């Protein structure tokens, strides 16, 4: 029970990111939503770390700037940039489902990084996960709830954020987690800003209640609330904590159906089950 309630709450909050993003990009160009979120969240975390907590010896130095920049480029600029761009073209449910395949790519990339042959269960798990996304997406391609380009952008983002996770795990960080997160989000926003200014049609942006609601939901309940719950869960039991990731696509499709009117079909249910089985198989020892 100590893990059950926080675990379900984590999955419910984490899965809501796709719906909040989908709502936000209806008001502003996708990269504008991303940049505003990054600047507010990154600045807020750094102000709290340096101004409220007054963390000592927490200023990046030397090679740490390069490490933070590489991590921010992968984890924030490319991944979250791809995610918001894709959500303009695919349903929020598919966005949640694709995010759930992240552990499978992490497992495979870790094997490559460590120069070991991936296990049969790891390869099969990844193939099942990709097949599940394909099955769930198939009918949505027919009725404009998803495009091939959007799906490909999503997959690029998932591969890149998996690489970011492997890169992060390979570094012995001296800085506190809050400082690392604050700098990587802020640097990621600064790197993305020129692309936003060059490509986004700023004249179409509407900074209305829907936009600000999406921004603050992504910052507070998702980036702060869900991550704090995740850290609590992995401190209790990392293996059991990972099981709650399986609930994310289920919550994601429910939110998409109730809040956005996106369809749930037999393909949706079969595809979700394939992803869940793939996650179980890929993470099985």
Q: How far apart are CA 243 and CA 262, in angstroms?
A: 26
What is the per-residue pLDDT for 147? Answer: 84
Angle between helices 266-282 and 248-260 (to 10 degrees): 160
Q: Are 77 and 191 in contact (CB under 8 A)?
A: yes
Average pLDDT, integer, range 212-226: 91
Average pLDDT, integer, range 115-138: 80
Q: What is the pTM of this model?
A: 0.84
119 pLDDT tier (thresholds 50, 70, 90): confident
Q: What is the CA radius of gyration of the chain?
A: 18
Q: How far apart are CA 155 and CA 133, in angstroms?
A: 10
Instruction: Please indicate whether residue 283 or residue 49 has the higher confidence score (pLDDT).
Output: 49
Q: How far apart are CA 158 and CA 275, in angstroms?
A: 14
Percent of the chain past pLDDT 70, that is, above it, reads 95
């Amino acid at each position: 029970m100590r893990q059950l309630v926080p675990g379900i709450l984590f999955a419910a909050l984490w899965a809501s990111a796709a719906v909040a993003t989908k709502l936000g990009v209806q008001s502003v160009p996708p990269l504008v939503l991303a940049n505003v979120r990054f600047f507010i969240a990154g600045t807020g975390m750094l102000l709290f770390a340096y101004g409220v907590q007054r963390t000592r010896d927490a200023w990046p130095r030397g090679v740490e700037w390069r490490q933070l920049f590489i991590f921010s480029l992968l984890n924030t600029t490319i991944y979250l940039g791809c995610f918001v761009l894709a959500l303009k073209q695919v349903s929020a449910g598919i966005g949640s489902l694709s995010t759930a395949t992240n552990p499978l790519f992490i497992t495979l990339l870790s094997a490559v990084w460590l120069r070991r042959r991936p296990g049969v269960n790891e390869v099969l798990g990844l193939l099942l996960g990709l097949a599940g996304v394909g099955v769930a997406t198939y009918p949505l391609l027919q009725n404009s709830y998803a495009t091939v380009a959007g799906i490909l952008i999503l997959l690029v983002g998932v591969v890149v954020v998996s690489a970011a996770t492997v890169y992060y795990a390979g570094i012995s960080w001296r800085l506190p987690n809050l400082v690392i997160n604050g700098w990587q989000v802020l640097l990621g926003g600064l790197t993305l800003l020129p692309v936003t200014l060059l490509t986004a049609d700023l004249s179409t942006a509407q900074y209305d209640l829907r936009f600000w609601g999406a921004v603050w939901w992504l910052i507070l309940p998702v980036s702060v609330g869900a991550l704090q719950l995740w850290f609590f869960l992995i401190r209790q039991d990392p293996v059991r904590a990972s099981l709650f990731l399986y609930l994310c696509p289920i919550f994601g499709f429910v939110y998409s159906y109730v809040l956005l009117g996106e369809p749930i079909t037999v393909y949706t249910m079969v595809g979700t089950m394939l992803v869940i089985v793939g996650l179980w198989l890929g993470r099985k020892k």
